[in-house]
Amino acid sequence: MQISKRKGYLDLKRRIADCINANYGKYLVATRDQPLTDADVRLWKFSGEKLHLVDACEDIRKKAAGDQDMSDESQKDPDLELNSGVEFPGETLEPFISTSQTLEDDTLESSVVVVEVRDNLNQGFAFKYLKNQRIYIGKCEFCTQKKILKVECACKRVRYCTPECLDKDKRWH
């Protein structure tokens, strides 16, 4: 599958859904009433050791075999979609769906984009997911590049793109 790096994450989700519908349409008709949409696709960014991803998938398989009920935990926090209860060993790309962030704005060179697809509307996704996460896009206080600001200073007034930028700026801030 190919997509322009100038496209956003919502375009990527729609393209993935279209490709799955085109290649597995006959299978999907047997398991669901309608074709996949972007709501049936969830994107994750993984850049760690591959063994951590394999372990997380194995944990999901074990929990599915045990058929554990975790509905009590998910009722405590309405923004928490517990699913299997296993946390993804990376970060979700879902908060970027409604932003103007494009694929070229993110550093995906050393990462793998993991695509999670649910079979039908009644079934949840596999990984634990916190809805309504907030992301900050702006200029890093140290390197002044427009990026996703992932690190917040202790003063809560300044944000940085990486922990390294925070460390480098500690002398001045």
Question: Domain locations in the chain?
Answer: 9-130, 137-169
Burial, 171: exposed, middle or buried (Cβ in 10 Å; 0-12, 13-18, 19+)? exposed
Residue 122: half-sphere exposure toward Cβ, Cα within 13 Å: 3
* pLDDT tens profile 3-55: 998 999 999 999 999 998 888 877 766 667 788 889 899 999 998 888 998 99
pLDDT at 110: 81
pLDDT at 67: 54
Runs of H (alpha helix) within 32-90: 50-66, 71-76
Burial of 134 (0-12, 13-18, 19+ CB in 10 A): exposed
Name the pTM for this structure. Answer: 0.75
pLDDT digit string, tens, across residues 130-167: 887 788 888 999 999 888 888 999 898 999 988 999 99
